[in-house]
Amino acid sequence: CPSRTESEPAPPRESSAFAGLSYVCYNTPMEQRTIGVGVGVLILNSEGKVLLGKRHDDYKKADSELKGAGNWTMPGGKQDFGESFEDAAKRETKEETGLTLGKVEVIALNADQTDTAHYVTIGLLGRDFAGEPQVCEPEKITCWQWFDPTNLPSPMYEPSAKLLQNYLAGKFYIN
């Protein structure tokens, strides 16, 4: 990629779970570039562990404009037109895990990009939920597990890694 479109490394991460996060190369023509809005949901159980799902290793099954086949991810996805951040988080969580979220709060804002996609990701925190996580979309996620947020699996899906980084640093936005 030439000059302005050269790839630049992501900012350094403090945890090995954040190592090697994406490089951005803008090879999509300007007139075809759009920005989407998505939500990522950091769900913590009573022990303070975070819920992560293993994305399918087959990139065709782990379909995402932000890529991430084989990575660990939080529940989340695209916000629908007319939907609040909180409602999007509750819907995506229910669709993917079967969990019913109660109160959720917006805790982070991030810009996530690949060579083909650009999303503003709204990070939400949910501690109030009912049910047990289950694989509701086996074509995308192979399992759900609880992890200590300071001992995360690898590789992490970049939007989820960034949201966890925000949470652990106590920051709404990290550039």
Please report the pLDDT score of residue 5 as a whole number. 34
Q: How high is the pLDDT of residue 58?
A: 66
Span 25-45, mean pLDDT?
80
pTM: 0.79
The pLDDT tens digits of the residues spanning 137-159 come to 998 999 999 999 999 999 999 99
Distance between CA atoms of residues 111 and 36, nearest Å: 10
What is the per-residue pLDDT for 16? 41
Q: Does residue 172 surpass a pLDDT of 60?
A: yes
pLDDT score of 61:
54
pLDDT, position 59:
61
The pLDDT tens digits for 63-122 are 555 467 889 999 999 999 999 999 999 999 999 999 999 999 999 999 988 777 788 999
Residue recorded with tokens 């990009």: 113
Least confident piece of the model among 5-9, 88-92, 123-127, 128-132: 5-9
pLDDT given at position 134: 98
CA–CA distance, 5 with 83 (Å, rounded to integer): 33
Hunting for tokens 């900012």 — which residue is that?
Answer: 11
pLDDT of residue 88: 97
CA distance 164 to 110: 11
Strands (E) in 9-117, as ranges, are 36-43, 50-55, 72-73, 76-78, 100-101, 104-113
pLDDT digits (tens, 9 = 90+) for 49-71: 999 999 987 665 555 554 678 89
| pLDDT: which is higher, 1 or 122 | 122
| H/E stretch holding 146 | strand 141-147
